Structures are given as structure tokens and as C-alpha cells.
A and B are shown apart, each in its own frame.
Chain A
Amino acid sequence: MKRPFLSLLSCTLGFLATAPHSLAIDAKGLLRVNTTIQTYSISQPWELTPPKRRRGLGAVLESGKILTTAEMAANSTYIEFESADGTHTVPATVIAIDYETNLALLGPEEGANADWILKLGTLKTNGPVGIGDEVDIWQLEDNGDAVRTVGTVRSVDLLSTFASGHYFLSYEVKASMQSATSSYTLPITLNGNLLGILTSYNSKDQISDVVAPEIVKIFLDDVKDGNYEGFPSLGIATVLTEDSNFRKWLGLKDEQGGLYVSRVLPGSGADESGLKKGDVILTVDGHPIDRRGYYKDESYGRLFWSHLVRGSRKVGERLSLVILREGKEQTLKAVLRRPPPKLIPSHMYDKAPPFLIKGGLVFQELTRSYLEAFGKEWQSRAPLNLLDALNNPEDYEEGRDRLVFLSRVIRTPATIGYDRVANLIVTEANGQKVTDMNSLVTALKDPKDGLHSIRIDDIPYVLYLDPQLSDSVDKTLLERGLPSLQRLP
């Protein structure tokens, strides 16, 4: 895996003495972006974890807005812009953020004096470049001088650089960079125009990943009307058709490629178009797809097919698909949409996780991030029932909008004997089906026969709470320093 630029930051001090050798280069449109990031505790979702600071660079666009990565801005509690030499600072806000492509557009806080930003000069955006072209990577020294490193575009690929599972067009740029301050993210230019934003640098291979100009363009176009929609999706899962026996069974000819559709998300554009599990996609918008899922792109050569959907189109646009179904070719038209909401969201960036505490029982809505917090080996260490729900949401979707689970038990007089119960999926409370956190809160207002009952998916299957006791316990918990007993979505 490629590491974010953080490793360079940590050795900054060692380089300070030698840094000012380079001649100052006049760089326009560069400023420092300093952010403070805080996420919510996984085990105690009512509190924030200790703050982390990130320092990167932003590119000043013609609109006066600043482009940087989503990773810089996500979960930020404070953002500020700083001029290269440190003379000016101004608090900043997020105008639009896209976690999937790892892009964020920021602006100075309303009413703050930010005239100095436009005096830095602005950067026009640039069109795509070809493989082998040289580009400039910009860094700022501690003294405010700009450092330009020339790199070569080595290849183009679809990469997921922030929110997991979302792949977008990226340049891989080969360049040997030095350590410098504010290097968490960097702008890349060509002939003085902005090309893309660096998302990571691997010092061993000296390869940087850069969000491609096409993606930057779609992002900025989408922001213009003040209503950011995000990147589209078709809503399918596919399997490659390399296996010759599998191909014969599907009835694919040797000269055909093909992508086997293994899953169609309900409510997606693919679903509406009539695409079904078992279909084989032969072409997308006229581009034949090969057996490994690649098509021939006019500028970049072979690219994975998903770029035709996610990186080339906007929400609401149509896509035409030629498919093979039961040995016959058919053409389908799909309208691209944002992916339908998931039962178990992959992330909760910039959202405080909903929770509820009742008598010491702590309930949360399951997210992928919760499971990832079980460490590097989370796929084998996280609770099996919750992992199963993440991997097979279709088994849990019926009658649910979110998966509510009992994440832990705080030892209180109301939870005697429940000490070891943790990470169990909640199905019912007081006889009412639990479909999300709100429904649990509603159900727990109405105890039956003088008791709360909460049905869960494993031993002991039902937990009971005394309403008076749990209310008084909740009061004590507040006195003990809990800021609140619930946070609703």
C-alpha cells in the first residue's frame, strides 16, 4: 500500500538546515492548508478522539476557491489557510467534499479578510496529458520558498485513494521528492495550469498518485450550481470472464470479451434498466469490454470499464449497454444514479455516529469503520455476526434501513449479569421491529408490562431492563460526565 505523505512531514526538522539552497521559484496559486481532525471514539461514540493535525497545500482556483484532497478536510474540526511565508492566515470552510474521489473545495470563512489569497495568483485547470509527459509537483519550504519537482506520468490507472472501494482515474507520477513542510497533499501543474492533486507518495518507488484532471473537472463542474451531487454509479458487481470453461458455459465466443454480472443493487440505475444477475456485458457506450474488464481508451490505452461509468459521466446521464442474455445480444439503456443508500455505510466522514444509551446498554448503527477499528486483521478479528452482515447485507436488509446493534454494556445496577454481552444485532425492542436508531428510541419509550425488552441475535436473545432503574442509571451516567444519552441521525 502506498502511504500518505505523512512520513515526509515527520523528518522535516532534519532538512531545515539544508533546505534554503534552492533558488526561490515564483510559484502562483499555492497556499498552506492546516487542518485539525477529530473522529468519534468507536467504543464510546459520545466522545471525540484526540485531535490530529495535517498540513498540506491547496491550489487557488480562478474562482478564488481552494482545491485540496478530501482526506485533508474530512472529519476536520478546524481548517485554516496560511500564506507560504506565514504572514497571513484565515479560517476556512468546506464548500464541497467528495470522499470517493478524494477531492475537496474550500473557501475562506464568510466575512473574514481573505484578500491576500487572490494576490497569490490563481491556477487555471488543465486538460489531460499523455503517458510520458512531464509535470511539475509543488512543495513549500519552511521559509516560504516554492520547490518544483519535475516528474513523469508513468501510467494511468483506476485507484481508490480515500474512501475504500471507490476507484477513479489517477496518474502515477514518477518523481524523487524531498521532504518539506505542508506536504500531506500537493498540487500538480503543467505549463502553470493545475492538472491534479497528489493523494499519496511512496518514497520507496518514488511514485505519486495524482487525481486525474478529468475527475477534477467533473468535480468542479458539479460544484458550480451550488448543489453538489457526486459521482454516478451503475450499481452492479461483476466477475471477470477469463476462465475458458466458464466462457464456454456462458456461450461466449473467443473474440468476445465480457463481464459477468454477479449482483445488481436494488434501486440502482442498472436495476431500472432491466439488467439482471447472470447477464454478460459486452460493450459499454460502444466500447467493447475484454474478458478482464478493460476497454481501449482513446487517450490512455487500456482502462478498467468502470471509468466509463464513474469517471466519464454525470448523474442523470444515460449509458448504453450491449449484453448477452441466454445466448442473445440485447441493448439496454441505463440512467446513472448515485449509489443507493447502504444498510451498512462504509464510512461516516463528517457525521457524528448515532448512539443510544439505555440503563448502560450502548446501541449504535453499524458501519464498516466500526469493524475496521478491530485492527489490521479486522476481517478475522471483528465479531463474526457483524462481519456477516457487512458481507451479506441482503440477508439483513428486509425491514431495516440501518443495522442497530448493542455495541457494549456499561456495568451499572441495571445491567447486572449482562457484563459480557457485546456486539449483538438488535431485532426488536418492546415488541416493535428495530429498523434504525430512531425506531429503537421510539420503541424504548413504551415499556410493556413494566419492563423494557430488547431482542438480540444471540444468547441470551432477550435482555430486560427495569424502566425506573434504567432511567435513574442514565441520570447517574450523565452526572458521571457523559455529555448525552443519545445522538440521533
Chain B
Amino acid sequence: MTRFLLLLGSIALFHPLTLAQDAATPPKNADNIYKSVVRIEVATQVADYRTPWNSGRFGGGTGSGFLIGPNRFLTNAHVVSDAHRILITKRGSAQKHPARVIHVAHDCDLAILEVEDSVPFEKLEYLELGGVPALESQVRVIGYPVGGDRISVTRGVVSRIDFRPYSHSRVDSHLVVQIDAAINPGNSGGPVLQDGKVVGVAFQGLRQADNTGYMIPTPVINRFLKDVGDGNYDKYVDLGITEFPLFNPAMRKALNVPENGLGVMIASVMPTGPCDGLMEPGDVLISIDGSPIDNAGNIEVQSEKVVLHEAVERKFAGDKVKLEFLRSGEKKDLTITLKAFPHSRIYAVRYGERPRFIFFAGLVFQPLDFNLYSAHQFKSPRVRKIFQNYVRDAIFKDREDVVVLTRVESDHLTSFITGFNGTVLDEINGTKVKNLQQAYDLLYAENHPEFITLKCNGIDRPIVIPSAEVEAANKRIMQTNGIFRSYNLGDSRPAAK
């Protein structure tokens, strides 16, 4: 990955700083602003998807945050992800105030925290949100980055405004503002200011380039704040389409697209997405909510070219979007209702979850998601293909969870079960596996035949386990291998045993 998370920092102490100044002196209310920027110290516990029954790795880091309302601190999601203890310190104070996460949005890397005792923070100013800063205008980044203990301020100019990937979840792209001020580990979650107003939250940098910091601009922040207004974070919504640029004249001719520079081809429509059944591959999208779409798939927003997906960025589930498209040259109008699309989250990094798994007779089964995929580095082209095409081919319709056999623990019962590691479990006793809960129910069913047979994808012979030996094998292997629980099925059933 080209981006890095700005989390780990050093311990900061709070003393007034003598600020380096350029032509402008710090704004009059600078000191009040500094006071509202806090240091966030986090103790984390990161799940280990290779040994899902274990506690995972304990660690920690620091970041920044700022007060935006009564006992409401805004910071990055990545600062507080996987946290089991959060402490907030005020500038110029040695006291660490326990805090908790109220809302976290991993898809746009933002979170809201509150402190348990808000009294010490009551006199502080709430920072006000501004607009999107203009290109070349100057901004200040405030926070507690590495390289010292006290509050740090850096200045820079806005060098680019773009639609870019957010590295925290790995799969989401939103508006970002690139600045040339140094953003370093620990800056994350701190405010970026212009004219005394917050114009962004510092959140990521670029490893292979100097002087490129990125901040989350206020349109993204405002959307997040609006989304959580009802007490719940409902996540971003998606059009559920993939487009292919119409640069090729023969392709435009084939699709009956007039030579006016407008229109992008729909290459695929996500099954069960908002456009499913309404649009089809080969349709040519020419406008979205009245904004014309060019051959590259861009629309113009405030005289800047952005990808057409930007048009639904500020929208919520249930909102409507007007689309205009050509099918075989014929113009069609369509209004779609946006909805969340949870299945695509299989490709997103997950945080703060205990890994789900089943232990059965020396075999460990886990549902496929990005965390599992990256932890086990699956080699089998079969698993990789199922993962890659999970959404495109609507595999989720038959398999809410793709259950993978991830480990075969050593035991005389399993000594010849070789070559099965990292394969997808297709069937248990002839029944197709749909999700982890159902797999658990099938494996631990009351009345088993003499042999339990497990069919794994792409393996020509079944795994055969004599039912009579399961209980003793479980006890024996769990004891020897330090596996102290036999399953975690997630929310529907508490982890036990």
C-alpha cells in the first residue's frame, strides 16, 4: 500500500509553544483553538485471524482530535480502531480522561468520542466547520505528531482536491484535499484550519512522496455528522455499477452513442444493488441528477471534474437518484432508490471484531473476508477466485459466508488430512454450506450418520470423520493446542465454552 496510517506516536506533554510565524501572526483566538485540540492515547487489541480463539495482539498508539460540540470530539476512525482503552488529554494538563467511541465510520475514517467526565472540557471552545479550501490557499495543521511532546502546528497550501482511496478501509474512495504541510504519525484526527474554521481532518500521507499530506474535507465530515444525527451510522450508499470509459470510437458507434463527448458504458451491474434489473451492461449512462457524464465517467462539480460516483456521496439510503442512459441508442430515464450494499464489505478491512470461527475435530473453519484473506495469504486459485468474484457473480446469494478450512491441527484423527488447508468448505454430509451458523449447526448436529463427510472445493476426495470420535478428539486437541473455545459465531450467539 502506498499510504500509511498515522497512528503510532510519542508521549506528548503540554506546554505553551512559541510558534514559528511567517508573514501572518497566529490568529487572535489561536490559543483557544489549541486548547480545543486534544491528544488521544489508545490501547489496542488487534484480533489474530490465524488463531481466532486467541486474544490477539495488544498494543497502542496516539492521535489527535478536537472538540466540535458539548462532549463531542471528532477524530479519525483509525485512531480509535480496535481500542479497548481510550484516554484524552487536554493541552497543558497531565490528567488523562477516559473516553469512549460514540460513533465510528470506517468507510470514511471518522469517529466521534466522548469523555466520561466532561466537566474539565466545559469551558473549551467548539471548533466550527468551514468549507472546502481553494487551491493554493493556506491552511494550518494542528495536532500531536511524533517528533516532540507539545502541540504542533504546520502550515501548507492546498495542492490538490481529488477523489481518492481512503486507506483505512482499503476499499472506499471519497473526496480528499492534498496539502503540502507535513502530516506525520500522531497528526491523525487533528484539525486543519483556515480563517479560524476547520476545513478538514488530517488523516493520511503518502509514503513515497514528500510533502503530501491528505485531509478529510468538510463535505465528508458533514455527511458523517448528518448520518449519525439519528444516533446510528448507516454508512455510505453506492450506485452498484462499474463503468468503462467510452474512449474508443468503434465502441461508441456500436453502442449508438452520439459523438458529443458524453456517456460512459456500464460494464457491470452489482446483483441486488440499486440498479440491479434496471440497467444492464452495455447501457450508456449520460447524466446523473442532471449532471452530464463525459466519456471518462466524470461529472463537473463546482467547475472541477470528479467521478460520477461523487454525485451520490452526500446521499443516504432511501434517497433517490435520477439517471439518464442510452440503451441501443434510445434514451431512457430512471429514478433509483439508494441502499446500503453490505456484501461488498467483504473487501474492506474489519476492525474491532472478534474473529468468527468453528473448531471441529481438529479442523478450524472461518468465514472469508479481507482480514482472513490477508492473514492466511490464500494461495489456492479457487479461493482467490471465489473471493474476487464474490460480489460480481452474486456468490453471496448462495453463500452468505464463504466458509474456509483454515487449519488442520495435528492429531492422529487428522494426520492424513493433507492438502485441505485453505480450501472452501462446500458440503457437510451432502448439504451445501450457506453460512457459519448453519455450518456449526450441521457439524454439531445431534444425530449424525456413522461418518461425517466434508466436501471441500476443488478437492477430489471428502474428509471423513467418524462421528463417534468427535467429542473425544475435540477435548483432546483443544487441551493440547490451547484452544479454549470451540466457536465464535458472531452476534447471533455469544462466544462460549
Contacts and interface: CB of A to CB of B under 8 A. Distances in A.
Interface string B397-415: 0000000000000000101
Contacts of A248: 451, 464, 466
The 3 nearest A-B residue pairs measured at CB: A417-B247, A262-B460, A243-B416
Contacts of A464: 248, 250-251, 253-254
Given A243-B416, A262-B461, A391-B458, 4 more contacts: A388-B381, A417-B246, A451-B253, A465-B250
Contacts of A246: 416, 461-464
Interface stretch (A116-124, A149-157, A453-461): A453-461
Contacts of B307: none
Contacts of B242: 459
A297 B245 CA distance: 65
Interface of B: 242, 244-251, 253-254, 265, 267-268, 281-282, 379, 381-382, 384-385, 388, 413, 415-417, 451, 453, 458, 460-466
Interface string A361-380: 00000000000000000011
Interface string A235-268: 0010100111110110000000000101100000
Nearest to B412: A244
A417 B245 contact: yes
A249 B466 CA distance: 9
Contacts of A16: none
Contacts of A249: 451, 453, 462, 464
B244 A242 contact: no
Contact of B249 (A262, A449, A453, A466): A466
A418 interface: yes
Contact of B250 (A260, A384, A451): A451
Contacts, number: 93
Nearest to A418: B248
B402 to A, nearest CB: 16
A388 B385 contact: yes
Contacts of A452: 250
Contact of B451 (A237, A245, A451, A465): A245
Contacts of B281: 461
Interface in A454-478: 459-466, 469
Contact of B416 (A244, A262, A459, A469): A244
A415 B388 CA distance: 27
A391 to B, nearest CB: 6
Contact of A242 (B413, B416, B451): B416
Contacts of B268: 459, 461
Nearest to B465: A245
Nearest to B451: A249
Nearest to A466: B250
9 contacts: A243-B415, A243-B417, A263-B460, A277-B460, A384-B381, A415-B248, A459-B268, A461-B282, A466-B249
Contacts of A465: 250
A374 to B, nearest CB: 13
B102 to A, nearest CB: 40
Say whether chain A's binding surface is mostly helix, strand, loop, or mixed. Answer: mixed
Contact of A459 (B244, B382, B460): B244
Contacts of B458: 391-392
B461 A379 contact: no
Given A242-B416, A379-B379, A459 B267 contact: yes
A380 B379 contact: yes
A416 interface: yes
B460 A460 contact: no
Nearest to B419: A239
A129 interface: no
Contacts of B384: 384
A434 interface: no
Given A245-B466, A246-B461, A384-B381, A462 B282 contact: yes
Contacts of A463: 248, 251
Contacts of A418: 248
A453 B254 contact: yes
Contacts of A308: none
A260 B416 CA distance: 14
B464 A391 contact: no
A414 interface: yes
A451 B460 CA distance: 45
A461 B416 contact: no
B264 to A, nearest CB: 11
Given A248-B466, A263-B460, A453-B254, A416 B381 contact: no
B23 to A, nearest CB: 47
A387 interface: yes
B116 to A, nearest CB: 49
A392 B458 CA distance: 8
A465 B254 CA distance: 9
Given A262-B460, A416-B247, A461 B254 contact: no
A33 B280 CA distance: 62
Contacts of B416: 242-244, 246
Contacts of A469: 250
